[in-house]
Structure 1
């Protein structure tokens, strides 16, 4: 029997409703229902009993005594009524009467553990009362506690101890005063327990002190002793749960918090703590439910609002989360964590301009917080404020010089804006800061792929270092793959990317994946490593019907998910670019793994079996020696679909100008000093030629490039610069250009295809690295191999040839769209068919127990003739 919980006995309908409300913590409703029953049946024993219990739960035990007494009078044969009445008397500080009642009950035969415990509590209370101060003597200390005057409370308690040295209550309040001042209270609280060994509250207070001191085992022992004395002590259940959470025993912690809530459904702190442990377990919907319940009980608690926002954010409910963080900030304007969460959630919700404001305010509140400067830098970057963004990253590094994420983002910004040497230096710093941090390595490799200082062998050596650094520890743990070795069965194919959004990679893969999704022989899985969602994401989810968001997953968690999905072939779409999961691939979750489209180069991983491309992009004899992967060659490695915004092709401007206009729309990170020097040589060879440069971010980009050209003897009047603009304007600018000039060693891909669609060929230089062959690949596909140079002199000579054959060049302009449409590049269905054949070829070798090897899927017969040879 239990003194605090209504018994579950057969009830009529009205009482059943009252009991349900009571047990649900709906105390006002329960009270009204009990009173309604008593109005009709004043001597209803259970209604009287439960109403008395309810008064005690509401902190008014004296008010409940008449109801408990009436219940006992009506039905003295119900043992629980004796215990409840005795317990009520104890709560009302009437221990003599409580002892009399419980001894009478024992004399009537109610001799059990509960009655004996109550008798001991009553005796202890009587003994303590004789040693304790009166209410009048205690009142001043209570008043000091309520007013928060803890130093005076300490003095008053010590004074009262001189009169009542054996009074546990005085020792207890002294301990409270000491704890409130941050003073050592252990001796005092231990003395309290010695004087009142059966006082659950005393053990609970000692447990709190142990927990504050970080002595968790001792704290747990105290809470358990308190609960042994009083199993219905909600605070002890709650505090025990807090200890269990810190000890990483989440299931037991949940159980403790739920017990506290069952005893007191309006216990906001316990609901808040339960929300925390549910959030830890990634049970975000349940955590939100508990936080909301706590918030209803304490609507002005900023911490609850902040935690509710955090759970909503993790559940991807960004707008609701932002509202919660905003409320937390309104309640507590200097709440740095809420400011931080508000800004970073706005970033996740792609509300970048608002994020700049929120994070700016957070930085004002905490100017020395390196993380705030870092995230402010991210927001500034997303709102195209590069100089301010880089300043924020540098400030973050000034505050924490080993802040690798800030160094990596600074490196990215420098690289994007053409400061390649500075970016490489930053990447080396990042790798030095975190030699075991894979992102530092990948940032360096991406930068080095743009540098003309390394030949193919040296660049490959750097890529191999990545695998040599990270794979050895993982390779012994590669799993045995039990996938059914049936060459003809339906294959499970997974695609891993952080670019399933409005990104160039998505633009290339959607036409192919949409065709693959039509195959009855393939089941497609998507593993998305980014929090940004847009229309492209939604399109891809239609085709990758088995969709998984893995951005919040650790490599181990994502590995487990892929293994659970029983993926046969796993395809990387990122390589050494942002949002990659190469460390996941290094764990070898699938029997066959391949890299495609995202990065022009080797991953450096032995775990990556294939690199998917075509014979022009990765000629095996040229590129093969510099790849850890074997080559799977398709009819074309990527498709091109023109934009509906494309204007018509117009007459070549050279026909009216009398000179060639060269152009470039490649991103600034590809425009290194060597590129400008090569272009300048061509412009010197053609003194009347001019050049248009697009994709400029800011005025300083113009200035830097103009200075480089000037250093090579090309005056500003031969150059024109254009800011980055929307797609329609960008395509229309091609009407002012005769020939595009490619970058090197990182050649153009998307820009080269856009130019061809607008009738403009690109003069490119092909090398031995994958990155240096994108332009050559595209031009070979459309029969324009004569536009592919082998060295700088050949590049200049080809430009001079074009200048001497303007009419032929102008005629070629009108054929470009047909060339693209008829090439493999212009036929996504053909590429998808080749892709599926390649997957089946990989799978056949694995089923046969054979290692990966380079192979080629049969290409289109014929091809467009080379018009300029």
Structure 2
């Protein structure tokens, strides 16, 4: 017997299936549970039984939207509205879908149909106001905004202002968003004696977000503090997430701990605390909170969290195995593949070729049915001004992409290059505002799908689209796989080949990608003449005073690299160095070492290699300026393998600390060699583990020579071409021009090296 939870698989069993009403009810249950595929099938079944069931037709279209099948969803809305032309919600949501797909005129038509049907409702008028503002029609948008307020009436005016504020913030227009949010809060205060604490908290969060985007940090913090009076679990979780985005980690965790206190029987409360703790590198407590969540209910994301914890504690191979299992479960196109790819870079067990092959294998599917390069109509004049697009989420404080890219943005020749940033992120601070001022166009695209973004990139006439993320957070690899510009390249954000089809170029240098290594890259190579990264900090970090006492103190090796880089191979290698230099010590600094569990775990790993705890010092995170000052406590830095230090190595050198590095087999394991070679310190570059230990010991023995090097190291760097940011920017422009000329000449991106 067929039940409401056991729908027939095909029309062949229709006579045995449930009635249309029963199928509709079951579909609604699936929809409420977020089981979109099952809901879609059940709505389809209900419509087969009763084609005139209008509510089922609307819900069916909604399922297709949630499943991401947008073309099918448009067809479903067309069917709905042909059959039921007076369906207000159908016209409204069809308009939303058209706006999302980048066909604004059709969206306008849909919204106008909805308005004509029910002039007294505000939703379509407000949506039209949003769309008109998005198109730059501010006066027309303001008129519709006013009509929406009139339609909403006094009891709903706050909702109209509030939603308009959110729409404007999503577009990146924080100033206008602030106007709307202030109006919403004014209506709330004036019109209601009893204010719901959670609704008020939600509004305060949006207000705080706006303040933070505008650089009004103190006002933003006060708004977040007012929001902390909330009691709703969903509201508190959102507040914690927003706080975390703005680097308020301690505040976020305080909110989530309060959430657990208020909702002790909620598995999601424990889960969210566990997730926050893991992101803050508190691994032992994160696992304990995860266990509490699992004791209440099964956690579908538990394997992913355990993979993250494994990677963050230096067990890259376990992380890789778990991420691959999850990616296989989700199938081709799963973003978990990117987590697996990142884990592979840290693995002690994989060869350079195996890492490259794994990337190609995992991301080949992203290029299926991609747009042809020849379909773009950009003017192929080789020497004209170039329109360059940057896709990144990472223009914010302390992120390496921001640190390296800001000085370049400040120096690019605006007569040769026009830069547009397509910002996919959620974290904003003063550095975000600085980057916005330095580019010709800044587009907020965090909530956009790939189709919307690709259409905007083409409308902006982008010639070269640069990925600055690779497989890191908030990347858009699927966009690049489908091709959104005639020339596409990856730069800075990922230390190696992406494996993604249709990324034409990778920016490298001749050390991280030496001649003969081309087979490790799915992209063609454009090699900068000096080093792939140029460290030119825009903040003044006072140089340490290396007085004669440095020769007398205990020789201190050090690493400020994150824990995932401290692989078993690295620990064994560094232990060998300590054994070779009796009496020396090792200072390890990383966010994880705020966690006593992480400290104990690594102390035990070194003890297993014969290094006593009293030869190790562990330090947790501090602000960037304080961290840079701490390099004065280090005599020689040790580079990890196989994932070398990038920013950390360049910071160490800048602060007078030379680095022992090992030249590995691919980009990620040759960054240290690139930097030290560019600095003229080739004798610090090892070719093997034994060579690494020998070099470290030799450099440690001659303390006077070491002191002399340290005293003049920054001046030495500033005299090297690789630290000349003006020249580096010209070289980078040359790389862009080389890519463009190759495209104009119809070349298949011949690999090359630009001229110094």
The TM-score bracket by the shorter chain reads: 0.7 to 0.9
Whether the aligned pair in 2 keeps the contact of 1:238 and 1:257 (CA below 8 Å) is no
Paired residues for 1:144-543 under 5 Å: 214=56, 240-245=87-92, 254-255=111-112, 258-259=115-116, 262=119, 270-272=121-123, 275=126, 297-298=154-155, 311=167, 314=170, 320=181, 329=199, 344=241, 356=253, 379-380=276-277, 387-389=284-286, 403=300, 408=304, 411-471=307-367, 473-475=368-370, 480-502=375-397, 503-516=399-412, 518-543=413-438
Q: Does 1:584 align with 2:479?
A: yes
Whether the aligned pair in 2 keeps the contact of 1:645 and 1:727 (CA below 8 Å) is no
Distance 1:293 1:652, change over 3 A: farther
Indicate the SS of the match to 1:779: helix
2:674 aligned residue (760, 773, 777)? 777
In 2, Cα distance between equivalents of 1:781 and 1:243: 62
Aligned to 2:694: 797
Whether the aligned pair in 2 keeps the contact of 1:692 and 1:720 (CA below 8 Å) is yes
Aligned to 1:628: 522
Distance 1:426 1:548, change over 3 A: same
In 2, Cα distance between equivalents of 1:293 and 1:387: 55
Indicate the SS of the match to 2:586: strand
Aligned to 1:170: none
Whether the aligned pair in 2 keeps the contact of 1:660 and 1:738 (CA below 8 Å) is yes
Aligned to 2:563: 668
Whether the aligned pair in 2 keeps the contact of 1:492 and 1:569 (CA below 8 Å) is yes
Whether the aligned pair in 2 keeps the contact of 1:653 and 1:661 (CA below 8 Å) is no
In 1, Cα distance between equivalents of 2:275 and 2:152: 32
Indicate the SS of the match to 1:683: helix
In 1, Cα distance between equivalents of 2:622 and 2:387: 40
2:720 aligned residue (823, 826, 843)? 823
In 1, Cα distance between equivalents of 2:542 and 2:741: 43
Whether the aligned pair in 1 keeps the contact of 2:92 and 2:114 (CA below 8 Å) is no
Whether the aligned pair in 2 keeps the contact of 1:744 and 1:772 (CA below 8 Å) is yes
CA shift for structure 1 position 851: 1.2
Distance 1:560 1:789, change over 3 A: same
Ranked by relative contact order (alpha carbons within 8 Å, sequence separation 6 or more), the top structure is 2
Aligned to 1:810: 707
Q: Does 1:735 align with 2:632?
A: yes
Paired residues for 1:518-667 under 5 Å: 518-621=413-516, 623-635=517-529, 636-642=531-537, 643-651=539-547, 655-657=551-553, 660-667=555-562
CA shift for structure 1 position 248: 7.0
Aligned to 1:118: none
Whether the aligned pair in 2 keeps the contact of 1:493 and 1:523 (CA below 8 Å) is yes
Indicate the SS of the match to 2:418: strand
Paired residues for 1:3-14 under 5 Å: none
Indicate the SS of the match to 2:465: strand
In 1, Cα distance between equivalents of 2:333 and 2:448: 17
Could you list the per-position Cα deviations for residues 481-524 of structure 1 after superposition, in whole angstroms to 9, with x for gaps in the alignment? 221121121111111111122211111011122211x3412111
Could you list the per-position Cα deviations for residues 789-838 of structure 1 after superposition, in whole angstroms to 9, with x for gaps in the alignment? 11111111112222332222222222211221011231111111111122
In 1, Cα distance between equivalents of 2:294 and 2:332: 19
In 2, Cα distance between equivalents of 1:786 and 1:335: 60
Distance 1:684 1:400, change over 3 A: same
Could you list the per-position Cα deviations for residues 597-648 of structure 1 after superposition, in whole angstroms to 9, with x for gaps in the alignment? 1111101123111111211222122x32201112111123221124413342
Indicate the SS of the match to 1:631: strand
CA shift for structure 1 position 660: 2.8
CA shift for structure 1 position 339: 5.9
Could you list the per-position Cα deviations for residues 824-858 of structure 1 after superposition, in whole angstroms to 9, with x for gaps in the alignment? 23111111111112222222222111111221123
Structure 2 residue runs without a partner (length 5+): 1-23, 26-51, 60-83, 97-106, 136-140, 189-194, 203-229
Distance 1:244 1:335, change over 3 A: farther
Aligned to 2:581: 686
Length-normalised TM-score, structure 1: 0.64
In 2, Cα distance between equivalents of 1:330 and 1:538: 28
Moved more, 779-788 or 544-553: 544-553
CA shift for structure 1 position 788: 0.8
Structure 1 residue runs without a partner (length 5+): 1-181, 184-209, 218-236, 860-869
Moved more, 746-755 or 240-249: 240-249
In 2, Cα distance between equivalents of 1:247 and 1:680: 63
In 1, Cα distance between equivalents of 2:245 and 2:532: 32
1:709 aligned residue (606, 618, 624)? 606
Whether the aligned pair in 2 keeps the contact of 1:241 and 1:255 (CA below 8 Å) is no
Length-normalised TM-score, structure 2: 0.73
Distance 1:397 1:764, change over 3 A: farther
Distance 1:348 1:300, change over 3 A: farther
In 1, Cα distance between equivalents of 2:559 and 2:605: 15
Whether the aligned pair in 1 keeps the contact of 2:742 and 2:749 (CA below 8 Å) is yes
In 2, Cα distance between equivalents of 1:481 and 1:304: 40
In 2, Cα distance between equivalents of 1:312 and 1:522: 29
Indicate the SS of the match to 1:449: helix
Whether the aligned pair in 2 keeps the contact of 1:216 and 1:243 (CA below 8 Å) is yes
Distance 1:330 1:486, change over 3 A: closer
Could you list the per-position Cα deviations for residues 275-309 of structure 1 after superposition, in whole angstroms to 9, with x for gaps in the alignment? 578779997977976775577532699x8898678
Aligned length: 622
In 1, Cα distance between equivalents of 2:555 and 2:732: 40
In 1, Cα distance between equivalents of 2:423 and 2:233: 31
Could you list the per-position Cα deviations for residues 116-138 of structure 1 after superposition, in whole angstroms to 9, with x for gaps in the alignment? xxxxxxxxxxxxxxxxxxxxxxx
CA shift for structure 1 position 255: 4.0
Indicate the SS of the match to 1:571: strand
Whether the aligned pair in 2 keeps the contact of 1:618 and 1:770 (CA below 8 Å) is yes
Larger radius of gyration between Structure 1 and Structure 2: 1
Paired residues for 1:90-105 under 5 Å: none
Indicate the SS of the match to 1:767: coil
